[in-house]
């Protein structure tokens, strides 16, 4: 009790009865809007990129013929290199934002949620780096 009073005065916040009942901090709501816009924009991009990718690797060419010669042919075109790199970035950004949103629904404990969020972000960053290195090396070879 004493500790919380001291901390509140240290932050020079108004007393509880002077504040509105529910405070939505600016930081929280702007990060929510950012997540929202990020999800929708990358989602719209992916609706073209992923469906196009699936169609090319399964319908235009049968999956049995998506061998290294097929990849070599594809990566000889700057269009497909750009397509793959954009798809990689958009998909991982979309996945990170989506999983982060889901975590907020299932982990009540804020500390544990933050830890899980960091795990997810680290995981996708590693995947992104691996993906970029793979595309760069494949193009370079």
Residues making contact with another protein (CB under 8 A): 32, 35-36, 39-40, 43-44, 46-47, 50-51, 54, 58-59, 62-64, 66-68, 71, 88, 91-92, 95, 98-99, 101-102, 104-106, 123, 127, 130-131, 133-138, 141
Name the minimum Å distance from CB 59 to another protein: 6
CB nearer another protein, residue 13 or residue 36? 36
CB nearer another protein, residue 5 or residue 37? 37
Among 125, 140, 128, 139, residue whose Cα is nearest residue 81 = 139
Rounded distance between C-alpha atoms, residue 121 and residue 110, angstroms? 16
Residues 6+ apart with CB under 8 A from 138: 71, 75
């Amino acid at each position: 009790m004493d500790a919380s009073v001291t901390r509140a005065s240290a932050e020079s916040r108004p007393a509880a009865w002077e504040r509105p009942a529910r405070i939505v901090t600016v930081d929280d709501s702007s990060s929510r809007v950012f997540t929202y816009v990020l999800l929708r924009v990358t989602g719209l991009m992916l609706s073209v990129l992923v469906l196009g990718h699936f169609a090319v690797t399964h319908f235009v060419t049968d999956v049995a013929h998506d061998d290294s010669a097929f990849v070599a042919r594809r990566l000889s075109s700057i269009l497909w290199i750009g397509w793959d790199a954009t798809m990689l970035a958009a998909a991982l950004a979309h996945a990170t934002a989506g999983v982060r949103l889901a975590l907020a629904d299932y982990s009540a404990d804020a500390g544990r949620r933050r830890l899980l969020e960091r795990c997810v972000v680290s995981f996708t960053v590693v995947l992104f780096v691996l993906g970029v290195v793979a595309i760069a090396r494949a193009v370079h070879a």
